[in-house]
Amino acid sequence: MQLRFGIRTKLLLSILAILFVSYSTLLYSSMKTLNASLQTELDRNLATNLKYARSQYLDQAEIAKFSMMQAVVSQTVQQRLRERDSAWFSTRIKRWHDVLPFVDLVVVVDPQEKVLATLQGPEKNGPMELPAMVKQALASKRAILSTELLSGEFMCRAGVPGYCERPGSEALVATVAVPVIGTDGSVLGCVVTGDILNHHPNLPGKLQEVTGNNVEVTLTQRGLRVASSLPARVRESYILSPKVLDVLERGEVYRGRTDMGAKSYETIIDPLLNSRGEFVGSLSVAISTETVTNSRRENLQYILASAFLGIICSFAMAYFASRHLTGPLRQLAMSARRIEEGDLDQRVVGHQRDEVGMLASSFNNMAESLKERDGIINKKTGDLQELNEQLEKMVEQRTSALSMEMGRLEAVLTSLAEGVVVTDRDNLVVLFNPAAQQLFELVPHRVVGQSVERLCEMTGFCNVLEQVSDKAQREPRCGKKEVTVKGKRLHVNTATLQDEAGEFAGMVMSLRDVTKEEQVDRMKTEFISTVSHELKTPLTSIKGSLQLLLTRSKWLTDTERQLLTVCFRNTQRLIRLISEILDISGIESGGMIFNFKPLCIGELAVYAVEEIKSLAMGREITIVNTVGEHLPMVFGDSDRLIQVMTNLLSNAVKFSPEGKVVMVTAEQEGNYVVVSVADRGRVIQWSDRDKLFKKFQQIESTERNKIGGTGLGLAICKEIVERHHGRIFYTAAKEYGNTFSFTVPIIGETDAKG
């Protein structure tokens, strides 16, 4: 017999089923959320306590760092360090130790990493092996704080008691290396301080006073305990397992659950790395899981009790709700049936202010909406038609604007003096301007629409047109090439076109005939070279005659001697200008011989400064040469490199205000030595920087009007540097000052090429 249930029974059973599923889901989600919340809180406590512990165990080292950084800026300390005054530093170290009594070692070294003084006094036992972080501090010119493992021998030599009897031992030290930087930026030495963490077994206990008794803090050295807040019976057996050490040695944080004694702990272990990134120890924070377990048990009891009471109350409420809702639902069903039969004017009468009343109101609103829908659709149709008409007008306006823009573009391309060829994605010619017609000697109707290969057959310009048909040109980039076709020298510029999707859409090629320009330039160069050769010999004779007259003619009057001096000075200037012209001509023609050999860039800088010294003294300009002897040997021609430095120094002195400083510096960058000459003159304008390394180009300025020249100096420097496989470039300061730099390869990089 099939059971039939009424709406009241079905509603009651449905409510009970929903309540059962809801409470089951709520119980499951509550337990899962509770566990996740407890675990999140545990993770947050571990991370917070670890962060606090790490900051506190280096607290004293940070104090020492900032104290030493204040001390080393003293002019007295820097002067004593320049004098290598070991006795003075021995007294000063004791005063520093009085101010920082927690510091266990203090060592002062010079730039060559030689120890000057320790806590024991002046170092007299020979060189001492220093931590690697000292070299890093001297090289980077900044203070470094790191946790280091220092040998017992170093600790003994540094004056730490108790380590001389244990020469093979090690100590975990919070080490600080503070470089001493002079006012000129040079490194004068370094001060090294250390806080031995092995001497602070109570440090985790102090941290525990802040974090709470349920948090255990442990500091290890290579996996062996140094200091811990654990009980004595657990502390002695605390050794990190090989599995944990493997994770820490990779520089990663270990996280997991461990058993210490009779208790289970959630542990996070942070590796301690030295300045070279090597594993030296660890700092761990552990929180007992007993509190989490008790909290989980208590919350489970509360949740189960609440669920039981909720189910009883929900059952009673479901029973009364089913009885209350049955009557209105029957009336709603009858009204809905009449609406289903087609009586759209039927309205449901409902006075309840609950969901049933809302449902009745929804039925009534639905009927009203059906009547209004037809009117709304008709209105929207009219609006769409109006919008369509507006869109057509906009399309017409845009089409007209595009046509006008195409006309402008066509006029520009037609008036261009350079030939322009444009292809599409299939390498078919779509544009061929009049200038290109003259170059190819073809009319447009025979070219447009043809493939590049067909155009090559008609013109014979295959070596030019392959720039367009080359498949490598389909990459989104621009290119420039010089080619010779039928005796014509052409500059070919190519650029790819892309569509909205970034795909290849064609190519634009610009052709310019530079044959006549190169002929004129070559004729000009040959004429200048010939004239210079013809003028140098008579000018040399004139110079010798004027010099003889000035040295041996005692009967000359002051006016005559002054006129002869002016003639002699102008003759020297003409000979110098002609020599520069001959130099640039010789370099370009390959007639200048370079004698390459290993050179010391520091010696070349000294020679160049000596040559320009008199000119600088005349303008009261100081030349500071900071090029050191520590730089590697370079491979080049000494006379030519001195010529480059002298030219750059001469320009810096000429165009710097009187009383300023010109700096000469050099440093190694990769396989090159970069030599720089910096002045404090007015910054060269952007519009003039393209003229710097071109022949016969001079920059207009007030100083240039006073000082003559041919505009060949920097061009000669550029040719000489490029013959050395280097490059020369210009850098401007933000306000005042210009820097000219050039590179020279070090030994081993260019000798094979040369």
The model's pLDDT over 530-550, given as tens digits with 9 standing for 90+, comes to 665 566 567 677 777 777 777
Mean pLDDT computed over 155-176: 82
More confident position, 242 or 451: 242
23 within domain boundaries? no
Judge whether residue 210 has pLDDT over 70.
Answer: no
pLDDT band per the 50, 70, 90 thresholds, residue 645: very high
Of the residues 538, 562, 589, the one at which a domain ends: 589
Domain containing residue 536: 518-589
**Percentage of the chain surpassing pLDDT 90?**
8
Check pLDDT > 70 for residue 579.
no
| Residue 581: burial class (beta carbons within 10 Å; 0-12, 13-18, 19+) | buried
User: 637 and 733: one domain?
Assistant: yes
Let me know whether 194 and 70 are in one domain: yes
Same domain, 421 and 499: yes
pLDDT digits (tens, 9 = 90+) for 245-281: 888 888 888 888 776 656 777 888 888 888 888 888 8
Q: Mean pLDDT check: name the lowest of 191-195, 303-307, 550-554, 584-588.
A: 584-588
CA 18, CA 29: separation in Å to the nearest integer? 16
Of 373 and 95, the one with more pLDDT? 95
692 and 712 belong to one structural domain: yes
716 lies in some domain:
yes
pLDDT at 672 over 90: yes
Of 1-15, 243-257, 658-672, the poorest mean pLDDT is in 1-15
Report which DSSP code applies to 142: S
Q: What angle do CA 282, 287, 293 make, to 5 degrees?
A: 150
The reply to whether 400 falls in a domain is no
Domain count, the chain: 5
Q: Does some domain include residue 484?
A: yes
What average pLDDT score do residues 344-357 get? Answer: 66
**Which tokens is 714 given?**
């920097």
Residues 561 and 697 in one domain: no
Q: By mean pLDDT, which of 80-84, 453-457, 682-686 is the weakest?
A: 453-457
Candidates 177, 223, 221; CA nearest to 199 is 221
Residue 751 has pLDDT above 50, yes or no: no
Cβ–Cβ under 8 Å, residues 205 and 216: no
Does 345 reside within a domain? Answer: no
Confidence bin at 19 (pLDDT 50/70/90)? confident
172 and 253 in a single domain? The answer is no
The residue-averaged pLDDT of 344-351 equals 65
Between 261 and 526, the more confident residue is 526
Which range has the worst mean pLDDT, 5-14, 337-346, 474-483? Answer: 474-483
Distance CA 129, CA 150 (A): 10
Q: Is residue 464 located within the same domain as residue 445? A: yes
Contacts 24+ apart (CB under 8 A), 157-163: 157/115, 157/118, 157/123, 157/125, 157/128, 158/105, 158/106, 158/107, 158/118, 158/119, 158/120, 158/128, 158/194, 159/105, 159/118, 159/119, 159/120, 160/104, 160/105, 160/119, 160/196
What is the per-residue pLDDT for 471? 45
- The answer to whether residue 743 scores a pLDDT higher than 90 is yes
Higher local confidence (pLDDT), 621 or 258? 621
pLDDT for 729 equals 92
Task: Give Cα 501 distance to the centre of its chain.
Answer: 30
Higher pLDDT, 746 or 352: 746
pLDDT tier, 374 (very low <50, low <70, confident <90, very high otherwise): low
Look over the chain and give the mean of its residue pLDDT values, rounded to a whole number: 77
pLDDT band at 104 (very low <50, low <70, confident <90, very high): confident
Task: Give the Cα separation of 2 and 50 in Å (integer).
Answer: 68
Give, in order, the Cα–Cα distances in Å from 611 to each of 412, 509, 604: 56, 51, 11
* 293 pLDDT above the threshold of 90: no
Residue 639 in this model has a pLDDT that exceeds 80: yes
3-state secondary structure of 19: helix
User: What's 544's domain CATH number?
Assistant: 1.10.287
- pLDDT of residue 180 exceeding 50, the answer is yes
Report if residue 7 sits inside a domain: no
Here the CATH number for the domain that contains residue 270 is 3.30.450.20
Residue 151 sits in the same domain as residue 205? no
pLDDT band at 657 (very low <50, low <70, confident <90, very high): confident
Q: How far apart are CA 679 and CA 660, in angstroms?
A: 8
User: Lowest mean pLDDT: which of 199-203, 586-590, 612-616?
Assistant: 586-590
